[in-house]
Structure 1
Amino acid sequence: MARYLAKPSLLYSKDDFGFDDEDIWQHRSKREVERTKRKIGTHPKKKLEKRQSVAVVASGSGDGSEFPDDGEESDKPRFYRVTFVLNEGYTPLLKDTQSPEFVELSRELGRYIDELYDPLPGRQSFTLVDVNEVPEDKFQILVTGDIGTVEFYNADAIKSVLEDQLEVGKLGAYTVLQNGFSFTFFQ
């Protein structure tokens, strides 16, 4: 797996990003759309300058090659639906997106997962969508979330960042299991 060595030197403000094309949001509820837009922010439709490339080193290779960008040059976001299992007790309050339990889980996972993506170019943001009980184990929950990305569209790189962290077994203060992981493009 690739390891990311450099952080972008420019941190964009929330006013630097956004999307004018509302069609891309049709598949999501209004609440999810607003939550993701707040996290990713808004910007006029224009290509943002890349101020610094992110150097990556393939495991064991030692070369500092730049990560490929799938040849995409677009200001439109892409979304990936992810699922994974947390070793946390389930409560029905986690189904209510307005409950303090859901909000806290969303905030904590969002903050930690967003930090995982700091080394990648562009901007990526995680939004918690749903929490379900794992029927076989009442002390595990299946988490479903969306990762939105702009200015960087290498799905393998985006997937590997989260997948590598799941192998470690921790997302912030949460213990995470490797089973139940999925990563799917949708638009």
Structure 2
Amino acid sequence: MVFVPDSSPASVPTTEPLAVAALETERHVASSGWDQNPRVFALVDTAELIAAEPQLAASLDSAADQAPGALSAIEQEDLPRTSNLESLLGRMAWPETVHGVALAVERIVIPPGAERDLPDDPTAAVDALAAHPQRQDVRLLVAVHRDGRSVCLLRQRANDRDDRVATGEDIAPGLVHALRETLKG
């Protein structure tokens, strides 16, 4: 895992469009605090977006927004309520104008091996996770592109700073796979 060293988008140490879009989207989600429902974003080519919606050009003035292949995130509001993220993702499909998709979701993690002590009943297991003395609250932002690229970002509530966000390709392989599937339909 690599930690992004600075909180300002202008100093992000990458110019790769998917990584830049993921970092900007994660910071946008983080600005709303914790205890959020899952949030889904369509990733569209910024140049195509400006061509279709010229009035947006003024709000996209950073160098990253103007770079070739730059992606802009468009939040998908009014998602149906569900307790099953896989079910929600399984019902999603994107038009060809959407080049990628990003998902922000909060999770509780516990140390390896601690899950063997969890009750079999799903409701009781969730309650036990929430009360576990070594639990860690994390937020994942997973972004995938139609061409197969992916990036995962992980923010811990205990280290809730922009310069402490971990990034990697394999942090959440199941979510990467599920998001890729939404782009096939």
* Higher normalized helix content (fraction of residues): 2
| Larger proportion of strand | 1
- Does TM, scored on the shorter chain, surpass 0.5? no
Q: Structure 2-normalised TM-score?
A: 0.25
